[in-house]
Structure 1
Amino acid sequence: MSTIEAKLEELGLTLPEVATPAGAYIPAIRSGDHVYTSGQLPLVEGKLSATGKLGGELSVEDGYAAARTAALNCLAAIKSVIGDLDRIEQVVKVTGFVASTPDFTGQPKVINGASELLGEVFGDKGVHARSAVGMAALPLDTPVEVEMIVRVAGDAA
C-alpha cells in the first residue's frame, strides 16, 4: 500500500473504483509530467452522495462533504493513469463547480472540502491554485464537480 493510500486509510477513507464516464471522455489523461482529470462527481458506489443546489435544499456542509468525495474520485482517476499516488509531486490546480441558487455566494467554502482533503493527505504537496465557480446546474443534478491537475514523477505507468 502506498504512503498516500495509508494516509487516506488513517483518515477513514478508501480510494474508490474509478467512476465510469457518463459521456465520450476518459477520467484522466497524462501529458508530460502532468495528469489532468475530467470533472469528477461525488459518486459513492456509482450513486451521487447528494443532489440539488447549494443555497437551496443543500447546506454548505452538504456541499463541502460532496466536494471532498469528488476530490477522492479525482485521486482514483489519477491513480488509474500513474499506478501509485506516491508519484504525485504537487497538486497544481483544482477547479470546483458548484450548482447553486443565484444568491448563493459560498462556493469557496464548498470547494474547501476538496482543498482541505488534499492538504490533509499530501501536506505541502497538496497546496494548489484553485477556482470555485457557481453554476446554474450540473450533470445529474449533482451539487459539485471537481477537476484536478497534478504534477507527477517518473515515466508513464
Structure 2
Amino acid sequence: MSAGPTPEERLAELGLTLPEVVPPVAAYVPALRTGDLVYTSGQIPVAEGKVLATGKVGAEVDPERAKELARVCALNALAAVKAQVGELSNVARIVKVVGFVASAPDFTGQPQVVNGASELLGEVFGEAGKHARSAVGVAVLPLDVPVEVELIAEVR
C-alpha cells in the first residue's frame, strides 16, 4: 500500500521549498511543542530575510497580493513546525489557523486573504490540511506587514 507523496514531496511538486525558520523579532520562540501539538508564533511574509510587503490590505496592498503573502506566512509556519518535529510527515493534521490582516477601514475580505494560507495547507497535507480557522482584521501588524498567520498542528 502506497502512502502517497510526503508533504515535502508535495511542496516540491508545487515548486516550493521550506525557508529557514524566521528569527523572532521579540522575546518568543517560532514554535513550541506541548504533547501532541505544535503551536507556531505568528509568521509574517518574510523571504530570504526580507519583508515582502508593507501596508494595509484594501489600501496599499491588493487583496490578491495579500493572499499570496498569506501563503508565504503559512510556508514560514510549516518551517517552524518542521524544526520542532523533524519531518512534515510527522504532522497528523493541521488543527487551527489564525490569520490577521492589517486592513483598510472599509476592507472586509479577510477570509479570502487567509485562504492563501488555508489553500497551501490543503495542497501540502490533503485531507489532514483541513482545519478550523479565524480570519481577523486588525489596524496594524509588526513591521507594518499586511498579513500574519499562526497555526496549531497535531503531530505524531
Which TM-score applies when normalising by structure 2? 0.96
The whole-number CA distance in structure 2 between the counterparts of 1:117 and 1:130 is 14
Candidates 40, 46, 49, aligned match of 1:46: 49
- Within 5 Å, which residues of 2 pair with 1:1-157? 3-153=6-156
Return structure 1 stretches of 4+ with deviation > 2 angstroms.
none
Q: Structure 1: which 5+ residue stretches go unaligned?
A: none
Q: What is the alpha-carbon distance in structure 1 between the residues aligned to residue 125 and residue 75 of structure 2? A: 12
Deviations 1:22-59 (A, max 9, x none): 00000000011000000000110011111111010111
1:111 partner SS:
helix
Q: Which amino acid aligns with 1:87?
A: N
Q: Percent identity?
A: 63
Q: Hey, what's the Cα distance between the residues in 1 that align with 2:79 and 2:56?
A: 25
What's the secondary structure of 1:29's corresponding residue? strand
Measured on the aligned residues, the alpha-carbon RMSD in Å equals: 0.8
Normalised to the residue count of structure 1, the TM-score between the two structures is: 0.95
The number of aligned residues is 152
5+ unaligned residues in a row in structure 2: which ranges?
none
Counterpart-to-counterpart distance in 1, 2:19 and 2:8: 11
Amino acid at match of 2:38: V
User: Secondary structure in 1 aligned to 2:82?
Assistant: helix
